[in-house]
Chains A and B, each alone.
Chain A
Amino acid sequence: MGGLAIAKPWVPLTAAAAAALPAQLGVYEIADADGTVVRIGYAGGRQPFGLRSALAAEVEAGLGTQFRHEATHGYLTRWEELLMLHRAAHGSLPTGNADRRTPVGRLRPLT
């Protein structure tokens, strides 16, 4: 962690892949087939089975075709950080986060 994107390869977003996830708190990114991130989300304390439940819901939502995740207790801070990093790199939030109604911080990471 610490100023970095999720350091994991993309995995196909399927019901089976979601079901195999640990029931831990954490963050994830959903991407389309080209690898463009379409949503950054988190599995928080209200998810019955953490990442497993959150990604199962993403399979249902069908916004993208692949995902990567990271288990962390600091899921809210990490979520904010990923949103900031995305905006710093691409100039805007992922399309799936367009409904965000509170401000996202400004980050200018060292490259």
Chain B
Amino acid sequence: MDFTLTDEQQLIVDTVRRFVAEEVVPLEADLDPDAGELDPDDHARLVAMTREMGFYGFDIPEEFGGPGLDVTTRALMAIEMSQHRAGLYTPCYGTFGGAGLAQLFEATEEQKERYLYPTLRGEKLGCFALTEPSGGSDPGRAIQTRGHQDGDEWVLNGAKLYISGADKADYALVFARTSDDGGATAGRNGVTAFIVETDTPGFNVRRVVHTLRSTRYATEISFDEMRVPAENVLGEVNRGFAIANDRLSRQRIPYAAGCLGVAIKAQEMAIAWAKEREVFGERLAEKQSIQWMLVDNEIDIRHARWCILEAAQAADRNDRFRTEAAMAKLVATEASGRVVDRAMQIHGGLGMTKDLPLERWYRELRIRRVGEGPSEVQRLIMAREILGGSFK
């Protein structure tokens, strides 16, 4: 397998790297160490720059006006874009635009006009509401939010937990149980996806959920006799689970790439510090135990990079990439956590402080082993494929 970058990919990587170093990192010197937003003027200025570079909306498919980059190139960009303090959850503070919720690519033309295109233009925000108090690892069985049809409308009742951005979103993608005829697939066939405008009566953001992540908090929402027009069903009634699942699979590659970027930056910092700091009359870099930590970091980084690029190349070839994406997510989230942990150890007391971004990455990376499907679920996905569909 050849992971050599093409000339074009190298140029893109170099450009993004320079942008992060010259435009994003200097702004962070004046922001709170936990900040997740730029001053609106700075944000607008950087967006103008990414537009000028032709990278704004880099994740958007070509048919919807994106630059038409392949998954591998986008993964390489994502690895670069996270290499700053807020980079894990807000890579470059969103100044490269977003592709929105990928499920909307399957929407009707009318739904695209109302939700997808304004999102791609940066005019509307969506949130993804799948997880419930009853569980998120196995949503097919856990979903208890109920929807029943009443004339031209659906009436939804229930609750969702840990939903990021629901309080600021213009619309939410809500998954509700609309039939109990799950049969052999135990509930997966009875779930429908709805696009819900967040100002709909009965859509209530009940509380902020405090987590290790200090910005981009999660929320709990409830649906109380919430009426949704039938034209806001996304895809087919009772077939919403496939839509949710498809998104989660695709999302795993950039999710993993963001973690890897942070790990690379932490390793750079650890190497620089180890060469500079002296203990017991020698530089840290001369101590074998420190060298081994740096080597273990390198092994973790290269392992994660291999898995991410392998998954991305499989996606670019239109091969199946479920196992590859699950492995990339699992390896990158766990390896990056270890890398940042070792980098903190090498930095000693300084590594624990808000003077460096390491403690923030440490907290945020811990969430990554649960978010978008916990490590155990990634192993489950891989086990199913390794053992084959016939194994029961």
What is the interface of chain A, defined by CB distance below 8 A to chain B?
1-3, 44-46, 73-78, 80-81, 84, 101-103, 105-110
Asked if residues A105 and B205 are in contact (CB atoms below 8 Å), the reply is yes
Determine the distance from Cα of A87 to Cα of B40 in the docked complex, in whole angstroms. 21
**Which of chain B's residues 344-370 have a Cβ closer than 8 Å to chain A?**
354
**Which of chain B's residues 183-227 have a Cβ closer than 8 Å to chain A?**
198, 204-211, 213-215, 217, 219
Is B35's beta carbon under 8 Å from chain A?
yes
CB distance from B42 to the nearest CB of A (A): 11
* CB contact between B207 and one of A46, A73, A109 (< 8 Å): that residue: A109
17 chain-A/chain-B pairs, Cβ below 8 angstroms:
A45-B32, A46-B32, A46-B33, A74-B211, A76-B35, A76-B214, A77-B208, A77-B210, A77-B217, A81-B210, A101-B39, A102-B37, A105-B208, A105-B219, A106-B198, A106-B205, A109-B207
Q: Mark B316-342, 1 if CB is under 8 A from A, else 0.
A: 000000000000000000000000000
Main secondary structure of the interface of B (DSSP, over half): loop
Interface centre among A3, A77, A108 (most CB of B within 10 A): A77
CB distance from A81 to the nearest CB of B (A): 4
* CB contact between A102 and one of B40, B209, B210, B354 (< 8 Å): that residue: B40
Asked if residues A78 and B210 are in contact (CB atoms below 8 Å), the reply is yes
CB distance from B323 to the nearest CB of A (A): 36
Asked if residues A3 and B208 are in contact (CB atoms below 8 Å), the reply is yes
CB distance from A70 to the nearest CB of B (A): 12
Is B34's beta carbon under 8 Å from chain A?
yes
CB distance from A80 to the nearest CB of B (A): 7
What is the interface of chain B, defined by CB distance below 8 A to chain A?
32-37, 39-40, 167-168, 198, 204-211, 213-215, 217, 219, 354
Asked if residues B210 and A74 are in contact (CB atoms below 8 Å), the reply is yes
| B168 cross-chain contacts in A, Cβ below 8 A | 103, 105-106
Determine the distance from Cα of A76 to Cα of B207 in the docked complex, in whole angstroms. 15
CB distance from A15 to the nearest CB of B (A): 24
Asked if residues B33 and A44 are in contact (CB atoms below 8 Å), the reply is yes
| A75 cross-chain contacts in B, Cβ below 8 A | 34, 214
Interface centre among B205, B210, B211, B214 (most CB of A within 10 A): B214
Asked if residues B208 and A84 are in contact (CB atoms below 8 Å), the reply is yes
Asked if residues B214 and A77 are in contact (CB atoms below 8 Å), the reply is yes
CB distance from A83 to the nearest CB of B (A): 11
Closest partner residue, chain B, to A110 (CB atom): B206
CB distance from B156 to the nearest CB of A (A): 16
Besides A2-B208, A76-B35, A107-B208, 8 new A-B residue pairs in contact (Cβ under 8 A), listed by A number: A44-B34, A74-B214, A76-B34, A80-B217, A101-B40, A103-B168, A106-B168, A108-B204
Closest partner residue, chain B, to A105 (CB atom): B167
The 4 A-B residue pairs with the shortest CB-CB distance in the complex, in nearest-first order: A105-B167, A45-B33, A45-B354, A3-B207
Asked if residues A76 and B208 are in contact (CB atoms below 8 Å), the reply is no
Determine the distance from Cα of A75 to Cα of B208 in the docked complex, in whole angstroms. 13
Determine the distance from Cα of A77 to Cα of B34 in the docked complex, in whole angstroms. 10
* CB contact between A2 and one of B210, B214, B215 (< 8 Å): that residue: B210
CB distance from B157 to the nearest CB of A (A): 15
Determine the distance from Cα of A76 to Cα of B204 in the docked complex, in whole angstroms. 22
CB distance from B363 to the nearest CB of A (A): 9
* CB contact between B215 and one of A3, A76, A81 (< 8 Å): that residue: A76
Asked if residues B205 and A80 are in contact (CB atoms below 8 Å), the reply is no
| B167 cross-chain contacts in A, Cβ below 8 A | 84, 105-107
Determine the distance from Cα of A108 to Cα of B215 in the docked complex, in whole angstroms. 20
| B217 cross-chain contacts in A, Cβ below 8 A | 77, 80-81
| B33 cross-chain contacts in A, Cβ below 8 A | 44-46
| B198 cross-chain contacts in A, Cβ below 8 A | 106
